[in-house]
Amino acid sequence: MARVKLSYFDFSGGRGEDCRLALHIAGIEFEDSRVQGPQWAEMKASTPFGALPVLEVEGAGTLAQSNAILELIGRKHDLHPEDVWAGAQHVALMGAAEDLRAHLGPVLAIKDENRESARKEFAEGKMQAWASNVEAQVQGPFVAGDKLNVVDLKLFMLMRWFIGGGVDHIGLEVFSAFPKLKALYESVQTHPKVVDWYA
Ligand SMILES: N[C@@H](CCC(=O)N[C@@H](CS)C(=O)NCC(=O)O)C(=O)O
């Protein structure tokens, strides 16, 4: 079997953790390479876009961009719709998750006395609009109904960042108006293979 290696930073969150989860759920044996600070400075220039996660597959090559990695794993291991249109809709949702991270970046960079108010404004404004748009595209409990796909892992990890207290001043309540998103979160969290990964 071809050797598979996923490189990401040494914590169980962010854009790499959903790729680890996807590999685990797909039943792929992989080297879970946890990059430490000083090591990153040395390897950054050798990665396709100067960022992690990066997936290396023996005989195939090196792939960056979390959504591309998720889609590849999903397509090969029945965790992404075969139907081209449905698949593209899942890719759009994964892109929307990246958009939210990109919009949040400058808000998280605010360190002065506006730190708390900027985060609250984001939680009450942009995040509500984002959650409402995503909620409308979830059949329930997963995006595609009863079947878990990589898109659900992407949304789960993003929501977990806030629900888990990873962002000061934006907590669990940010999703309180969105029952489908909460159900998706709980369904991924209690999926036997996800439970198994964290055991
Ligand atoms: N759009 C990229 C973003 C990758 C990205 O920004 N990764 C961050 C960690 S989540 C990173 O590598 N940061 C370190 C750096 O830029 O030097 C993806 O989805 O993979």
Beta carbon of 52 within 6 Å of any ligand 1 atom: yes
Indicate which atom in ligand 1 lies nearest the CA of residue 53.
Answer: 20
pLDDT in tens, 50-88: 999 999 999 999 999 999 999 999 999 999 999 999 999
C-alpha distances in Å from residue 37, one per residue of 6, 34, 41: 16, 10, 7
Other C-beta atoms lying within 10 Å of the C-beta of residue 120? 13
Indicate which atom in ligand 1 lies nearest the CA of residue 15.
Answer: 10
Q: What is the pLDDT of residue 172?
A: 87
pLDDT band at 1 (very low <50, low <70, confident <90, very high): confident
Q: Please name every residue paired with 34 in a beta bridge, in sequence order, or none if there are none.
A: 8
Q: What is the pLDDT of residue 84?
A: 98
C-alpha distances in Å from residue 64, one per residue of 4, 144, 156: 14, 26, 20
pLDDT in tens, 117-158: 999 999 999 999 999 999 999 999 999 999 999 999 999 999
Q: What is the pLDDT of residue 164?
A: 94
All structural domains of the chain, each given as residue ranges with its CATH number in brackets, are: 4-77 (3.40.30.10), 84-191 (1.20.1050.10)
C-alpha distances in Å from residue 98, one per residue of 20, 28, 91, 177: 17, 25, 11, 22
pLDDT band at 37 (very low <50, low <70, confident <90, very high): confident
CA of residue 66 to ligand 1 center, whole Å: 9
Burial 157-187 (b: 16+ CB within 10 A, else e): bbbbbbbeeebeebeeebbeebebbbebbeb
Q: What is the pLDDT of residue 23?
A: 98
